[in-house]
Amino acid sequence: MALICSLRFLLLVQLTQLIADSQVTMSPIKPTEVPTNLFERSQWIMTQLRLRGTNLSRLAVENDLHRQVVSLALTSPHARAEELIADALGTKPRVLFPERFNASGVRLYGRRDRRISAAENVTRVAAQR
């Protein structure tokens, strides 16, 4: 497992350097590209941020938020942090975190629907796609 993680990291570093060297512009994110699994989505978002030359800590510092607030936004609702992440990726929060919004795009009141688990909520949103 450690070998796979280190190889993934090395590949990511090389890819980041390649993009920085070649001045490649990143294409807009489509809703179908975002993983529905919470862990995979968190990893995907962090990778996309690295590819764009930033990370969660840098977003937090630049916008006067604590680093953990931005990190926790990957798994828990936090409107301001979600908007920072989405802006850095050139998309909208409802594309990255669809389970936190209703069908018309309005943020669900407060935290995600507590009547069902987060996994069920993600599955429900994925089925709507």
Distance CA 24, CA 111 (A): 37
Single pTM value for the model: 0.65
What's the whole-number average pLDDT of the chain?
79
Q: What is the mean pLDDT of residues 57-64?
A: 92
pLDDT tens digits for range 33-47: 888 888 899 999 999
Q: What is the pLDDT of residues 82-122, one digit of tens each?
A: 999 999 999 999 999 998 988 888 888 665 445 555 666 66
For residue 62, is pLDDT > 90? Answer: yes
Residue 115 phi/psi, 5-degree rounding, is -75, -20
DSSP single-letter state for residue 97: -
Helix H or strand E encompassing 46: helix 38-51
Greater confidence, 90 or 28? 90
Compute the distance between CA of residue 112 and CA of residue 97 in angstroms, rounded to an integer.
Answer: 11
* The total number of residues written for the chain in this structure: 129
